[in-house]
Amino acid sequence: MKTKTLKKNKINVVTLGCSKNTFDSEVMMAQLKANKFDVTHESTEDDAEVVIINTCGFIDNAKQESIDTIIRYAEAKKDGDVGKVYVTGCLSERYKSDLESEIPEVDAFFGTRELPRLLKTLKADYKHELVGERLLSTPSHYAYFKIAEGCDRPCSFCAIPLMRGKHVSTPIEELLHQAKLLAAKGVKELMLIAQDLTYYGLDLYKKRALANLLEQLCLVEGIEWIRLHYAFPSGFPMDVLNVMKNNPKICNYLDMPLQHGSTKILKAMRRGITREKTEELIAHIRDEVPGIALRTTLIAGYPGETEADFQEMYDWVERSRFDRLGIFSYSHEENTHAFNFEDDVPQKIKKERSDLIMDLQSGISHELNQKKIGKTLKVLFDRVEGAYFIGRSEFDSPDVDNEVLLKKEGNYVRIGDFENIHIKSADHFDLYGDICSK
């Protein structure tokens, strides 16, 4: 084993999975920094004494990626390239005892709500006065903003409640405090996230409070864009649409995972809504908030999904013309309700069906993008890549949606700034344009 000089006080945090994990890692990093550790996020220097891996345990691919990452650092530890390896997050919450026996090189495993114990293991204190503080891992002009943890929904395929527990809303005062801290650091865009955003407040205030929260967040100086992710269709709080309509700070954008387009499958999934009611809801949202960009997520190959069920979903996607869409192949997850049924759709068919929907969506996205040519869009610039400045309009969330590309040659924009861009051309997922002359 070669000996390598590792920085004793240095901790490298590695985040896998969704934006909620990103949020949790950022909270953890702020605590570590306040305890005088030298904290990095996904550093490639490989000179940190300690590595903390924040894992994902959602579905097969994500679980495999987490296991591969743990094994990679366990090997690095054997080679003397890392001193200590700690694992936290959803995979650890869900499979702690299996992981402890299968990967003994890991120094300790922690659950999704065990930050204080993790800090104690590092001989650090959990600093309550830091509540709301984060060390951002995103570009400094936008931040994920978790408004609640856990989920009370009974969706048959989903293991998230097993890993994240029951729904717990964060009090509005605390969220406003967090938003002000972020704005003071230069954050202009907040991506509101939760397992089920629209459930916000039902536990704490015994009523849906997302609309109220949004109205108050709109008053936070410095925040210019507020984006809604992970809305749930059944029991959708319509007052949110009024707030969206009346507040230009709230992006004309809504992410609402709908999971399937066949009422038979939606019932089997225990989603509490039919396809017909879903279509009514979408039509109502589009009426109430004209020009809104709708993002959704679907699952292909759920147990019992026949060719006819799939065709019903395909036709529904064709009719619904979502602005943004992602699809997963069904993953047979232990301890979920769906695990009681036979996983009878072959993997090959699941993949074929997912690909068919994505091909269809790619065509829809291309058509919708053509309609943006000649329009002027307010764009927030995120990065420089090759010959382009790359940004997003209010219709696009980072990492998952379309982008707006501005040639570097002859132009200058500061990353983190807004510019009005006149759209000149478009392809399936990107728009190209010029700065509007002031």
User: Least distance in Å: CB of 91 to ligand SF4?
Assistant: 16
Q: Which of 113, 153, 267, 408 binds ligand SF4 (CB under 6 A)?
A: 153
CB-CB contact of 285 with 239 (8 Å): no
Name the residue nearer to ligand SF4 (CB basis): 153 or 177: 153
How many residues lie near ligand SF4 (CB under 6 A)? Answer: 9
- Contact segment (CB under 6 A) with ligand SF4 among 83-91, 93-101, 130-138, 157-165 equals 157-165
Name the residue nearer to ligand SF4 (CB basis): 101 or 340: 340
**Consecutive H or E run containing 32:** helix 19-34
Q: Which of 57, 89, 111, 161 binds ligand SF4 (CB under 6 A)?
A: 161
Q: Which of residues 3-42 bind ligand SF4 (CB under 6 A)?
A: none
> How far is the C-alpha of 265 from the C-alpha of 259, rounded, in Å?
9
Q: Binding pattern to ligand SF4, positions 217-246, x when CB under 6 A?
A: ---------------x--------------
User: Least distance in Å: CB of 150 to ligand SF4?
Assistant: 8
Name the residue nearer to ligand SF4 (CB basis): 155 or 423: 155
Closest by CA position to 253, among listed 417, 137, 377, 405: 377
Could you write out the DSSP letters of every residue in 357-413? HHHHHHHHHHHHHHTTTT-EEEEEEEEEETTEEEEE-TT--TTTS-EEEEESTT---
At 27, is the secondary structure helix, strand, or coil?
helix
Q: Which of 51, 151, 214, 368 binds ligand SF4 (CB under 6 A)?
A: 151
User: Least distance in Å: CB of 240 to ligand SF4?
Assistant: 17
377 beta partners = 421
* Residue 13, CA distances (Å) to 4, 10, 324 in order: 19, 10, 31
160 binds ligand SF4 (CB under 6 A): yes
User: Least distance in Å: CB of 273 to ligand SF4?
Assistant: 12
158 binds ligand SF4 (CB under 6 A): yes
Secondary structure tally for the chain: helices H, strands E? 12, 18
User: Least distance in Å: CB of 61 to ligand SF4?
Assistant: 17
Q: Which of 25, 170, 195, 369 binds ligand SF4 (CB under 6 A)?
A: 195
> How far is the C-alpha of 1 from the C-alpha of 78, rounded, in Å?
7
Q: Which of 196, 382, 394, 403 binds ligand SF4 (CB under 6 A)?
A: 196
278 binds ligand SF4 (CB under 6 A): no
- Size (the chain), residues: 438
Name the residue nearer to ligand SF4 (CB basis): 118 or 158: 158
Name the residue nearer to ligand SF4 (CB basis): 51 or 294: 294
- Angle, CA of 135, 140 and 143, to the nearest 5°: 70
* Residue 115, CA distances (Å) to 24, 51, 86, 119 in order: 9, 15, 12, 6
Binding positions for ligand SF4, rule: CB under 6 A = 151, 153, 155, 158, 160-161, 195-196, 232
